[in-house]
Amino acid sequence: MKTIRVVHSGLGPIGCEIARTLLGKKNVSIVGAVDIDPGKIGRDLGEILGAGRRLGAVVSDDAAAVLRKSKPHVLTHTTLSSFRDVYEQLATAARAGVHVVSSTEELVYPQLRNPALAGKLDRIARRHGAAILGTGVNPGFVMDTLALVLTGVSRHVRSIRITRRVDASTRRMPLQRKVGAGMKPAEFRELVKQGRLGHIGLLESMYLVALGLGWKLDRHTEKIEPVVADTLQETEYFTVRPGEVAGIANTASGFCGGRRVIDLDLRMYIGAPDPMDSIEIDGDPPLTFTVAGGVPGDLATVAAVVNAIPRVLESSPGLKTMLDLPIPRAFRAV
Amino acid sequence: MKTIRVVHSGLGPIGCEIARTLLGKKNVSIVGAVDIDPGKIGRDLGEILGAGRRLGAVVSDDAAAVLRKSKPHVLTHTTLSSFRDVYEQLATAARAGVHVVSSTEELVYPQLRNPALAGKLDRIARRHGAAILGTGVNPGFVMDTLALVLTGVSRHVRSIRITRRVDASTRRMPLQRKVGAGMKPAEFRELVKQGRLGHIGLLESMYLVALGLGWKLDRHTEKIEPVVADTLQETEYFTVRPGEVAGIANTASGFCGGRRVIDLDLRMYIGAPDPMDSIEIDGDPPLTFTVAGGVPGDLATVAAVVNAIPRVLESSPGLKTMLDLPIPRAFRAV
């Protein structure tokens, strides 16, 4: 089996863990690294990862140059959440004929909010023989891919309800900040009003499920509410006092033919009791599927990105979703 | 969307339910039916299904003639469990350029026991533009496909343990007979010795999981034991007295590099308490998934076969496994 050459872009906590995971794969070689942080540029990736050895991959903010010089097969990509914001980064990889696996939340279903831009990227990717995939744990797995897979053994599916409860204190710092931990409720609501707070990807999950089932949603509703702490909560990064925001309750419902067919209920907050995921399929047979403790978000996203590499390498070129590729599965160190 | 023309072969309980499910799909038309039962040959399928109307599909035992005359896109196939036994049936469909979705247990991974025959069928299928898939609930989903999908959010998977407990009294008559319900333990053990009793497909599941994860198994162990009733159990079809066989405990373990990496534990017996499925992944993160009540076998197999139709129609030609196709999902009536 030939060595898979990888460049990684975006050296936040998830990105660094992806790079560390790739280091453990015998048939993978990290040949380059990209980040915009001046504190990281010019340093060897091994040093940034605490790998205890130099990797010969010096961090650069010039992705095009890194891709040109290091000629990777695939770019793993963990920079920003918005498809529009990462479009140029992805197009740069596609033009270099480099496949991409990205954790950009909106890339799980980029056609939803930006069909024209998605079409443009798809054409560039096809022209240059690159496949591009957005994946992760949520969006990308628990509230979309896994739910769809479970409908594979049900018929006449009438509706789906997916619930995810995350104790945000077990998550990385950026996630705790994203859910509003430590804010005043009024501040939280103001940010929601401005569209600057809310789980990114909930609607991508909903519409991807609908797409997978052939449901054309007429409309959806979405609610983003603060979960307010009633006791003092302290994490490694935040202190949340009673009356302050512990996190977020983000729910959405999708309607088809006037009937509610998809319910997503995501609560991520500091101190959430009994974290869990559940997928309830009202079909024939009805099915209820549970993950006690829930799929741990950060590690699972790392795994989802790394594990998608072989699928993307084997894919036809273009902008893909999890619906287009063979079933996800662990990518074993060989 | 154009109408999908289907021929169904094998009008046992599962086959009839598949045909009924297909009748409920607006973009599907059943254009032919095949069975070897003299009591069914020559009758209209609608009558056999109790559909309350004639369907214009007369049951025949001449599959080649039915396929030639009715020109289906796909054959749904529920006849026998052994790949060798259904080989000619599948080859007949492939030669007619007809795709196949089959519940034949060994077809979930036909290369395992019959690589040469699988290769031969693959070549015929490719030559005539047909895709052939074996699927179902077990093998086909709970103990293989679903387990693999779940490893998609774990890394460094060390081992997998899959448990399935089925109360056989909720299943169809042939399944109750297959698990040995009502036999004397000595008779059960004798049939096991002759290779005539045991869940078909357990090793197919194990080796498909290993294939999906890139694990080359050195060896496996398998145990087939009777579950003996300690109280009187009565079903619609069987009476099981204390001391008689209520069903089967079929377990298997797979080893890789001397280490046990896959454990399958399947118990199907009349009166099994707390039916459930669970998949435990010893990885990073570790994950435990549970289906309370278990995925109901018969209906889920019906659903799995029907839901695979669109995937198989879109597939490249050849003999496929669930690893080759995009994620399973419900096939909505359009």
**Do A249 and A313 reside in the same domain of the chain?**
no
Assign A212 a pLDDT band (cuts: 50, 70, 90): very high
Q: Is the distance from CB of B267 to CB of B247 less than 8 angstroms?
A: yes
CB of A1 less than 8 A from some CB of B: no
Contacts of B277 in chain A (CB under 8 A): none
Contacts of A325 in chain B (CB under 8 A): 326-327
Contacts of B321 in chain A (CB under 8 A): none
User: How far is A132 from A233, CA to CA, in rounded Å?
Assistant: 40
Assign A57 a pLDDT band (cuts: 50, 70, 90): very high
Residue A279 confidence (pLDDT): 98
Mean local confidence (pLDDT), A143-160: 96
Mean local confidence (pLDDT), A217-236: 95
Angle A105-A294-A145 from CA coordinates, rounded to 5°:
45
Which helix (H) or strand (E) segment is B254 a member of? Answer: strand B245-256
Q: Taking CA atoms, what residue in A is nearest to B314?
A: A324
Q: Is the distance from CB of B18 to CB of B48 less than 8 angstroms?
A: no
Tokens of A96: 């270099």
Domain annotation covers residue B332: no
Residue B1 confidence (pLDDT): 67
Domain annotation covers residue B167: yes
* Spacing of C-alpha B106 from chain mean position: 8
Mark yes or no for CB contact A153/B328 under 8 Å: yes
User: The domain that contains B85 carries what CATH number?
Assistant: 3.40.50.720
**Do B217 and B309 reside in the same domain of the chain?**
no
Sheet-wide strand order for B245-256: A219-228, A245-256, A259-269, A155-167, A276-284, A287-292, B287-292, B276-284, B155-167, B259-269, B245-256, B219-228
Tell me the shortest Cα–Cα distance from B296 to chain A, in angstroms. 7
Mean local confidence (pLDDT), A239-266: 96
Which of A280, A324, A329, A332 is the best mutation test for B, with the most CBs of B within 10 A? Answer: A329
CB of B332 less than 8 A from some CB of A: yes
User: Which of A 13-42 lie inside 8 A of B, CB atoms?
Assistant: 21, 24
Residue B173 confidence (pLDDT): 86
Residue A299 confidence (pLDDT): 94
**Do B285 and B162 reside in the same domain of the chain?**
yes
Domain annotation covers residue B90: yes
Mean local confidence (pLDDT), B12-39: 96
Which helix (H) or strand (E) segment is B223 a member of? Answer: strand B219-228
Residue A44 clears pLDDT 70, i.e. is over it: yes
**Do B174 and B250 reside in the same domain of the chain?**
yes
Partner residue facing A155 (CB), from B148, B283, B303: B303
Tell me the shortest Cα–Cα distance from A233 to chain B, in angstroms. 25
- The counts of H helices and E strands in chain A are 10, 15
Which of B329, B331, B332, B334 is the best mutation test for A, with the most CBs of A within 10 A? Answer: B329
Which helix (H) or strand (E) segment is A247 a member of? Answer: strand A245-256
User: Which of B 294-313 lie inside 8 A of A, CB atoms?
Assistant: 295-296, 299-304, 306-308
Mark yes or no for CB contact B329/A303 under 8 Å: no
Domain annotation covers residue A305: yes
Rounded alpha-carbon distances, angstroms, from residue B61 to A91, A132, B104, B311: 57, 48, 18, 28
Residue B170 confidence (pLDDT): 87
Residue B311 confidence (pLDDT): 97
Cβ neighbour number for residue A221 with a 10 Å cutoff: 10
**Do A121 and A153 reside in the same domain of the chain?**
no
DSSP for B255-272, please give it. Answer: EETTEEEEEEEEEEETT-
Q: Is the distance from CB of A74 to CB of A98 less than 8 angstroms?
A: yes
**Do B78 and B10 reside in the same domain of the chain?**
yes
User: Which of B 196-255 lie inside 8 A of A, CB atoms?
Assistant: 212-215
Residue A332 confidence (pLDDT): 78
Assign B43 a pLDDT band (cuts: 50, 70, 90): very high
**Do A124 and A216 reside in the same domain of the chain?**
no
User: Which of A 136-175 lie inside 8 A of B, CB atoms?
Assistant: 137, 141, 145-146, 148-157
Nearest in space to B271 (alpha carbons), one of B239, B233, B238 = B233
Sheet-wide strand order for B131-134: B59-60, B28-34, B4-9, B74-77, B99-102, B131-134, B318-320
Partner residue facing A214 (CB), from B285, B308, B334: B334
Mark yes or no for CB contact B153/A288 under 8 Å: no
Mark yes or no for CB contact A145/B327 under 8 Å: yes
A6's CB contacts (< 8 A; 6+ apart) are: A22, A28, A29, A30, A31, A72, A73, A74, A75, A76, A309
Each residue's pLDDT tens digit, B232-264: 999 888 899 999 999 999 999 999 999 999 999
* CA-CA-CA-CA torsion sign (B208, B210, B212, B215): negative
Each residue's pLDDT tens digit, A93-105: 999 999 999 999 9
Q: Is the distance from CB of A133 to CB of A235 less than 8 angstroms?
A: no
Each residue's pLDDT tens digit, B141-189: 999 999 999 999 999 899 999 999 999 998 888 888 889 999 999 999 9
Residue B250 confidence (pLDDT): 97
Residue B25 clears pLDDT 70, i.e. is over it: yes
Partner residue facing B326 (CB), from A302, A306, A326: A326
Mark yes or no for CB contact B300/A325 under 8 Å: no
* CA-CA-CA-CA torsion sign (B88, B94, B95, B96): positive
Each residue's pLDDT tens digit, B93-148: 999 999 999 999 999 999 999 999 999 999 999 999 999 999 999 999 999 999 99
Tokens of B31: 């254009």
Contacts of A334 in chain B (CB under 8 A): 214
**Do B289 and B158 reside in the same domain of the chain?**
yes
**Do A288 and A303 reside in the same domain of the chain?**
no
Domain annotation covers residue B140: no
Residue A21 clears pLDDT 70, i.e. is over it: yes
Q: Which domain holds residue B207?
A: 145-294
Mark yes or no for CB contact A284/B290 under 8 Å: no
CB of A329 less than 8 A from some CB of B: yes
Residue A50 clears pLDDT 80, i.e. is over it: yes
What percentage of chain B exceeds 90 in pLDDT?
92
Contacts of B301 in chain A (CB under 8 A): 153
Which of A153, A170, A279 is the best mutation test for B, with the most CBs of B within 10 A? Answer: A153
**Do B286 and B304 reside in the same domain of the chain?**
no
Domain annotation covers residue A307: yes
Domain annotation covers residue A184: yes
The amino acid that residue A177 corresponds to is: R
Residue B175 confidence (pLDDT): 84
Each residue's pLDDT tens digit, B51-87: 999 999 999 999 999 999 999 999 999 999 999 999 9
Assign A1 a pLDDT band (cuts: 50, 70, 90): low
Better-scored residue on pLDDT, B75 or A235? B75
**Do A290 and A150 reside in the same domain of the chain?**
yes
Domain annotation covers residue A334: no
Averaged pLDDT score across all residues of chain A: 96
Backbone angles phi, psi at A204, to 5 degrees: -60, -45
**Do B92 and B182 reside in the same domain of the chain?**
no
Residue A10 confidence (pLDDT): 98
Contacts of A288 in chain B (CB under 8 A): 291-293
User: How far is B27 from A217, CA to CA, in rounded Å?
Assistant: 20
Q: Which single residue is written with the structure tokens 């060897």?
A: A44
Residue B316 confidence (pLDDT): 97
Assign B333 a pLDDT band (cuts: 50, 70, 90): low
Residue B334 clears pLDDT 70, i.e. is over it: no
Residue A304 confidence (pLDDT): 98
For chain A, what is the domain count?
2
